[in-house]
Amino acid sequence: METLRKQASKLREHVAKQQQAVRKQFSARYNQDPSLVDEAELECHQNLQRLYNSTRAAKHFQRSIVRGVEGFIAVSTKQMEIVKKLAEDCCRYGNDNQNFGFILARASVEFGNSHSQMEKERENLLKFLGEQVFEPLREMIMSAPLEDARLLTYRYQRIRQDMESQIADVMRKQLKSKESSGNADNSVKLQHAESKLSELRTTLSALGREATAAMEAVEVQQQQVTFDRLLAMVDAERAYHQNAADILNKLHDEMVQAKHHDEPENHYDETSSDPKTAATHEHSRSTSEDHIFTNTSEPTRTETSEPTRTETSEPTRNGQEVHYVGEVIHPFDAQADGELSISVGDYVVVRQVAPNGWSEGECKGKAGWFPSAYVEQRDKAPASKKLKTQRESSRSTVKREQWCGRVKKQAVCPGRWEEGSHREQRTPGPNSSN
């Protein structure tokens, strides 16, 4: 192995020395004969090399755009199918539940219709990209002008290699002719080689001009077409996104407007029963006051009216029959007038159940509204809870009737007062001034 390595090293050194000697001979010959160096041909060669690199880079870029647009169209087509299915489901739900009057049904229909319009806009965008971007660039990648210009460039490169070989042959013959001066055979061979070199230069020059013109035309076409297609793609995407944004803005405004329009209706539904309840309580209070003043002014009446009033006022105090007895399963703190605070474990006598999710009832001697879902119906309340509820309800009724009596007494004049169609003379109290 060591012997082989030494031989390989010696061979490399010998080859390097020969190459250096050949370079010296060629450089010396070029310096002695400037006619062998063609500056115009060298400039043409460099220009063709630049054009070839530019057109190749543009072709690769066009291929990248074509692949990207093709993938974008494929993915967007799949997304269109998904969104269209979602839009159809939304429209179906909204149409099937339109009669219930909820805002969700109307919003679902609007959502589905808006996204259907957006998908139509996307479909137009994909169609435009396929016809105006994908196809032109794909055709240009495989177009004849580019292939023809490249073939001319390849021919130019082969002729240039032949010319370089012919230059080397001419240099060798010139060297031989110089060494053997006066040899006619060497002079004829040198003249023949120089004539062939001149023909190759003429052919190479014409082919160089033709290839340069073809490559420049292809370069300009690539740059212009690619830029135009990119600009068209940007315009199409911009128009699509603007239309989609307009559709979404319109959908958002409609949904927000529907929400604001639905909130007052819900508030009215929640509070529509409160005036009735207040009127019922007012009617109960006036009935209690009438019974109190009737008993005060007519002591000779039988006492059967008092038990009758007490028995009928309690179950019909709110103008509704008792629906059921419910146990509180979730606490609720009253935030507005007419609402009832309840705690977990309390038992509520439910008087009325509204369709908007609220119920009216009594608990711990207080009446008001609370969420229906916070109370769970029970067959009957425990004896202790029931007794406590009845006591508190009776106590609240007595207190309310006493308060109503005091208010009415203060409002009536000490000399005369009227109740209904009867007018009676009232004796001034001991505290009244004469």
Question: What CATH number should be reported for the domain holding residue 383?
Answer: 2.30.30.40
Q: Is residue 193 part of a domain?
A: yes
> What domain count does the chain have?
2
Q: Which among 2-16, 301-315, 345-359 has the top mean pLDDT?
A: 345-359
Higher per-residue pLDDT: 210 or 25: 210
Q: Is residue 1 part of a domain?
A: no
Query: pTM value?
Result: 0.51
Q: Is residue 5 part of a domain?
A: no
Tell me the pLDDT band of 157, cut-offs 50, 70 and 90: confident
- Residue 364 and residue 257 share a domain: no
**Structural domain boundaries enclosing 362:** 275-294+317-411
Predicted pLDDT at 294 = 41
Q: Which residues of 126-165 are buried (b: 16+ CB within 10 A; e: fewer)?
A: bebbeebbbebbbebbebeebeebbebbeebbebbeebee
Q: Is residue 304 part of a domain?
A: no
Q: Is residue 84 part of a domain?
A: yes
- Residue 254 and residue 374 share a domain: no
Q: Is residue 301 part of a domain?
A: no
- Residue 237 and residue 323 share a domain: no
Predicted pLDDT at 260 = 84
- Residue 226 and residue 279 share a domain: no
- Residue 283 and residue 163 share a domain: no
- Residue 82 and residue 220 share a domain: yes
Give the C-alpha distances (Å, rounded to integers) separating 195 from 40, 90, 188, 207, 208.
Answer: 19, 86, 11, 18, 20
- Are the C-beta atoms of residues 166 and 193 closer than 8 Å to each other? yes
Higher per-residue pLDDT: 315 or 52: 52
CATH number where 198 lies: 1.20.1270.60
- Residue 284 and residue 248 share a domain: no
pLDDT, tens digit, 9 for 90 and up, residues 173-225: 888 777 777 677 777 888 888 888 888 888 888 998 999 999 999 999 999 99
Q: Which of 39-48, 84-93, 205-214 has the lowest mean pLDDT?
A: 39-48
- Residue 241 and residue 289 share a domain: no
Q: Which of 135-149, 191-205, 276-290, 320-334 has the lowest mean pLDDT?
A: 276-290
- Residue 243 and residue 185 share a domain: yes
Predicted pLDDT at 430 = 36
Q: Is residue 8 part of a domain?
A: no
**What is the percent of the chain where pLDDT is above 70?**
66
Cα(116)–Cα(113) distance, integer angstroms: 5
